[in-house]
Amino acid sequence: MNRTNIFFGESHSDWLPVRGGESGDFVFRRGDGHAFAKIAPASRRGELAGERDRL
């Protein structure tokens, strides 16, 4: 199964990949520009929580 299908489901065409991230994680922007999603390994959970809390 494609990793993006796990998060976005079969209909993920409204989400566009974002290029040039520092971490190497998968980052996507919703087509309307009002939301972002980041997919990262579980080992980075703490770092992502800190990043989320700073926003």
Residue 17 belongs to domain spanning:
3-54
Please, are residues 39 and 7 in contact by the beta-carbon 8 Å criterion? yes
Please, are residues 48 and 40 in contact by the beta-carbon 8 Å criterion? yes
Q: How far is the C-alpha of 50 from the C-alpha of 23, rounded, in Å?
A: 14
Q: How far is the C-alpha of 35 from the C-alpha of 52, rounded, in Å?
A: 13
Each residue's pLDDT, cut to its tens digit, for the chain (55 residues) gives 456 555 555 555 688 999 866 788 889 998 888 888 888 899 988 988 888 888 6
The number of domains in the chain is 1
- Specify the pLDDT at position 6: 55
Please, are residues 55 and 35 in contact by the beta-carbon 8 Å criterion? no
- DSSP state, 31? T
